[in-house]
Amino acid sequence: MRPVLIRGLTAAAAASLVTGLGIFAATSASAAAGCRVDYTANSWNNGFTANLNVTNLGDPISGGWNVTWTFPGNQQVTQGWSATISQSGANVTARNPDWATGIGTNASVTFGFNGSYSGTNTSPASFKLNGVTCTGTTGPTTTPPTTRPTTPPTTRPTTPPTTPPTTPPTSGPTGNPGQRVDNPYANAKGYVNPEWKAHAESEPGGSRVSNNPTAVWLDRIAAIEGTDDSSSNGSMGLRDHLDAALAQGAGYIQLVIYDLPGRDCSALASNGELGPDELPRYKSEYIDPIAAIEGDAKYQNLRIINIVEIDSLPNIVTNTGGQAGATAMCDTMKANNGYVLGVGYALNKLGAIGNVYNYVDAAHHGWIGWDSNFGPVADIMLQAAQASGSVNNVTGFITNTANYSALQEPWIQPSTTVGGQNIRQSKWIDWNQYTDELTFAQAFRQKLVSIGFNSNIGMLIDTSRNGWGGSARPTAASTSTNVDTYVNESRIDRRLHAGNWCNQSGAGLGERPKAAPASGIDAYVWVKPPGESDGSSTLIPNDEGKGFDQMCDPSYGGNARNGNNPSGALPNAPISGAWFSAQFQQLMQNAYPPLS
């Protein structure tokens, strides 16, 4: 598909918050001192992750800054980000990165680190900025408060740019574009990928949809810098896309973070380049360079939206340990904790950047809609978020990425009965608690909030290929009293089985991208660019690590995971991510709402 279908912190790992005091303007001896340091730490066993937010309450600082503190115990910094951190004994110094040398009045900088400890991980008592003790006010130094909140903040952290903008761009987002907002899609123009636009406009009628924003897939290390490989998404690298977004006056850009070790362990079409034991390489060669680019100050007024690791975490719940869909690779990735640790690291590094928004992939209703999967998948999402250091690193979640599940099913809701029988017992629904993506996404959001995620998280639904229009689309409920006949004649989703995922025959474009379309939903999005293949119909050698999956072969008769139904795939498909003209034409023909 492209695609389908860290260790968690203990309950005792409560976040601690130290509100420290004062900022000193290094360029003026008479400047008023005043700053605040918010320090949060999440601990597990003998390790912890800390994040610091430093707010300047005094005159602007230019030419460099440093924050110092003394650990009260034996804590040791092992790795930092968004600052250069050094340690001598218990004394620690964090110096500014090259791209953030100043702090304006009422502006903030954020950085963090991983550390080790034994005994008790007590938070530092005070902090200094450029040698002056922080007090949280612009007045004299006072004793810092000793009472700490018992729970982390429930709102998303807002990190203003290091130099406050004067006026927002007229075609970008409204409000202060350098600060995090509740919904990054609201009041903002989306980035149109010029490479996808060119493909779409090369097709007859493609100009009708070519100006819609689609996501850029960073599906291998080489994609960060760009490549001329014609089998990939093109030659533009991450900086090229970010620069193009600025040139377009876009308010947001969508990026897919997609290169975990042992990627997509339950399928072959979207396997990746990194082996199951290459987590260090994932961190240093993939996530770290992406974070460095996204953190460049030139992009601080652009809302950068990351869709994080499609299909990864749900696989650890549903395709391991002897289940029907279990694979050796999924068992390996569960055993080595690679998916949880990898997603946690990505959320940590990217979440430290003030204008970045992370949405974690949450599969789709036809995968985790059963009670046996629903709760456990939510739990592993929380483990990954906690491994990142804070649930604040997660803006929300996305469902139906690169999939085909219908947005709404008006006539086959789980409560529907036919002839005195509940339709959940039909072969199509198979006792699932959900039959469409909107209902599922709203319910899953409520579940995530109930287990510890922030109450303002938002959901995304990928509607790029779930329209199911055309002549086969039902226009009314069936009159049959047989549950199977009723469901099959009434359902919007026309796949042979809800588990079929590869280049589905009969699919159509769904709702066009739009912000805040329903309660709890941040946006309908086109993360999967329409016209890009899910996988090849036959084995095609390539240098991207992408294999051949029988679910992409139209002659394949299915397996236990899809009820031994035919794959329903289109013929003559290229490898995943490559342009598939026949699919694009079908998607336009069957679009719902229809194209004009």
Catalytic (active-site) positions: 264
Cβ–Cβ under 8 Å, residues 500 and 507 = no
Q: Which of 251, 272, 254, 250 minimizes the C-alpha distance to 263?
A: 272
Omega before residue 593 within 30° of 0, cis: yes
With contact defined as beta carbons under 8 Å apart, do 199 and 236 qualify?
A: no
Q: Which residue's structure tokens are 């589905």?
A: 504
- Tell me how long the chain is: 596
Question: CA 313, 226, 402: angle at the middle one, nearest 5?
Answer: 35
CA distances from 127 to 16, 68, 499 (A): 15, 6, 54
HSE at residue 411, side-chain half, CA atoms within 13 A, is 19
In angstroms, rounded to a whole number, what is the distance separating the alpha carbons of residues 244 and 126? 43
Angle between helices 371-387 and 338-351 (to 10 degrees): 50
Please enumerate in sequence order all residues whose Cβ is within 8 A of that of 161, keeping only pairs 6 or more positions apart, or say none. 107, 178, 297, 300, 301, 354, 355
As to burial, measured by CB atoms within 10 angstroms (0-12 exposed, 13-18 middle, 19+ buried), residue 223 is buried
- Of 50, 214, 228, nearest to 123 by C-alpha is 50
Which residues contact residue 338 at a Cβ distance below 8 angstroms, ignoring those fewer than 6 apart?
A: 260, 261, 262, 276, 277, 279, 332
**Residue 372 CB burial class (10 angstroms; 0-12, 13-18, ≥19):** exposed
Residue 413 to residues 118, 422, 437, 447, Cα–Cα distance (Å): 53, 10, 12, 20
Cα–Cα distance measured from residue 352 to residue 516, given in angstroms and rounded to the nearest whole number: 25
Kindly list the strands in the beta sheet with 16-19, ordered across the sheet, starting from the edge strand earlier in the chain.
16-19, 35-44, 47-56, 108-116, 76-81
Cβ contact 42:13 at 8 Å: yes
Name residues whose C-beta falls within 8 Å of residue 596's C-beta, 6 or more positions apart in sequence.
Answer: 208
Label each residue of 208-239 as H, E or C. Answer: HCCCCCECEEECCCHHHHCCCCCCCCCCCCHH
Question: CA 49, CA 392: separation in Å to the nearest integer?
Answer: 13
Dmax (CA) of the chain: 84
Identify whether the C-beta of residue 27 lies closer than 8 Å to the C-beta of residue 48: no
Q: Are 379 and 373 in contact (CB under 8 A)?
A: no
Cβ neighbours, 10 Å, residue 62:
16
Per DSSP, 550 falls in state G
What stretches of 451-595 show up as alpha helix (H) in DSSP? 483-490, 581-589
